[in-house]
Chain A
């Protein structure tokens, strides 16, 4: 019992906080891991051929877009904010890049010129994402308006511009060179999946090992205290939304490769799923705590549920309903657990 007390005291103190900030051990999510193993076992037993290379391949094709968008959501969530404009930003970047590629590359454009045109398109998309991120960040940091409102406004604005300019129709005809590169596989893994892996590692490193990342977690815990500890919270906030937008740009490049077209309407239903995945993965919706590992674990769980239900032949709507129930269930267990493990609460 004595070590239990010590452990609790330690967790409440600064060491506990730092341990949570600097932790990040993949085994740190026993509940989620158990849930994942249970689900895989259930589906493997009931669906012949579920545990196969083909399922894994399909998983690696399906997860990158949602994964990148979830990363873009998690970075502001850790600071206690939210970025509702991620889908809008991604779509606008994809539209701009598709437009530039279409304008510069004709049927008789040579390989070298095509590569240059694609690079130009990527550069323009990156610049657009950076501008959106800087403006959003500046609005959040310098007006003090709640991020839900700011990003609701930017979402509406960006979506509006995209729909106005395209009249809601998709831009298709992405050059073959681009889609070929985007759909190539390396060691049996799709390019897009590798992009997700690299970005996950990068974001994880930034959030966990840099002063910027620690500042993000501190802002999420208590912005006022962070400001008094000589951290320029406004600059950090601008950086957070810039980072979120840049992740949207990466998501846009993946989206172009997957869909071979761009539209203002794509992936709109993913917005709430990214929040769901983040919270399921242990990101505190009030900010301060959250790990990329947990997010990826949660995404894997959601995707396993989705492909399992799919192979049962169940409707997508049931999958979505079950995702919601999973989230409620996980949160309920988190609430009830303290009462189960500590019947006599020390106090």
Chain B
């Protein structure tokens, strides 16, 4: 069977294939140990509760591919969410205006990051740390840390696209967050693999100088990458408020590292130029499964962080060691090719 052999070889070359293997093993273990795990209701529920992180991770993935890094996206999401919530709750503006304004604010903050990184030439991790402390602190200062509870119905009402009830009475519902996540994933995938901009972003992350010499507009690419992350962050922020039914200024704060680890777990390289949308989604799925499975097993939620830590350490080590044995690495120091 030469074709099956070739397929196996191609699969082995894909960085996320081993991740799928890990997911299958963990899934098999959990479904054997926790009876409630392998039900459609639970799996869809899982998907919904991680939709916000998935949207964030997809945005971050684009920046990682371009060779940069961004820590400020959670702050951006909070700012966009809170401003939209203010417009909706205090000014009673219609839905499209609030959503549009929120997305616009997120994109603008992302573009501001791009300006700092490209034109002021600040390293991306430093620029985003600085921007994070500026935007999040100002948000906390002006909001006084107060939450907005009276969000309008158009924002908080559950939107169910499809639902079914099984014999046991478990309700399986495909809701708005899941649909948004799927659409965001498809759009990101299309942009990164089917458009010139996507190819150029990979080129920029792989070798910025080469990308410049073949005529890519580096400034525009930076604006696309960080602007896209800002847009996705705002989208995630709006989605998060939709899920919980209120806007808490500090709700998203602190998710940066979890999202970053999911993206990296999914094979997005911190050196830039490497990573796929399916891989990032696999990273999210693995983290979600671990958390949910441990909950079902009755393991203390305090334990979860230990598991995340071990997962990151083991998976990244395996990825690097396995790629190293196959080919000599382009950049042995593993330093970001571009800030």
Question: Which A residues are within 8 Å of any B CB, using their own CB?
Answer: 80, 84, 139, 143-146, 148-150, 152-161, 163-164, 167-168, 222-224, 272, 275-276, 279, 285-287, 315, 317-321, 323-325, 327-328, 331-332, 335
Chain B, interface SS category: helix
12 contacts between A and B (CB under 8 A): A146-B271, A146-B335, A157-B306, A160-B309, A161-B306, A163-B302, A167-B302, A168-B302, A272-B129, A318-B137, A318-B141, A321-B134
Contact residues in A for B69 (Cβ distance below 8 Å): 148
A144 B320 Cβ-Cβ under 8 A: yes
A10 CA to B302 CA, complexed, in Å: 56
B interface with A by C-beta (< 8 Å):
69, 71, 116, 120-123, 125-127, 129-134, 137-138, 140-141, 257, 260-261, 264, 270-271, 300, 302-313, 316-317, 320-321, 324, 329, 332-336, 339
Known interface pairs A164-B306, A315-B141; A331-B317 also in contact (CB < 8 Å)? no
Number of A-B contacts (CB under 8 A): 152
**Residue contact A80 to B122, C-beta cutoff 8 Å:** no
A residues near B261, Cβ cutoff 8 Å: 149, 152-153, 156
Determine if B313 and A155 form an interchain contact, defined as CB atoms under 8 angstroms apart: no
- In the complex, the answer to whether A148 meets B270 with C-beta atoms within 8 Å is yes
Q: Give the distance in Å from the alpha carbon of A156 to the alpha carbon of B309 in the complex.
A: 5
A231 to chain B, nearest CB (A): 14
How far, in whole Å, are A146 and B316 apart by their CA atoms in the complex? Answer: 9
Question: Given A144-B320, A145-B334, A224-B333, does the pair A156, B130 have CB atoms closer than 8 Å?
Answer: no
Closest 9 CB pairs of A and B: A157-B309, A160-B305, A156-B309, A160-B306, A153-B312, A324-B133, A153-B313, A321-B137, A324-B134
Q: For A324, what are the chain B residues with a Cβ–Cβ distance below 8 Å?
A: 129-134, 137
Would A331 and B332 count as touching, CB distance under 8 A? no
A269 vs chain B, min Cβ distance (A): 10
Residues of A within 8 A of B140 (CB): 317
| Cα–Cα distance between A163 and B146 once the two chains are bound (Å) | 27
> What is the chain B residue whose CB lies nearest that of A285?
B123
Q: Are B138 and A317 in contact (CB under 8 A)?
A: yes
Q: Which of A148, A164, A224, A321 contacts B302 (CB 8 A)?
A: A164
Please, which residue of chain A has its CB at the minimum distance from the CB of B321? A143
Are the C-beta atoms of A149 and B133 separated by less than 8 Å?
A: no
How far in angstroms is the closest Cβ of chain B from A151?
A: 10
- Which residue from B271, B310, B329 sits with its C-beta under 8 Å from A153? B310
Instruction: Determine if B317 and A139 form an interchain contact, defined as CB atoms under 8 angstroms apart.
Output: yes
Q: Which of A223, A285, A318, A323 contacts B125 (CB 8 A)?
A: A285
Residue contact B332 to A276, C-beta cutoff 8 Å: no
When distances are taken between beta carbons in the complex, the residues of chain A under 8 Å from B316 are 143, 145, 149-150, 153
Please judge, given known A-B contacts A152-B260, A223-B333, A285-B123, whether A272 and B312 are in contact too, CB under 8 Å: no
A163-B305 in contact (CB<8A) = yes
Q: How far is the CA of A222 from the CA of B131 in the complex (A)?
A: 29
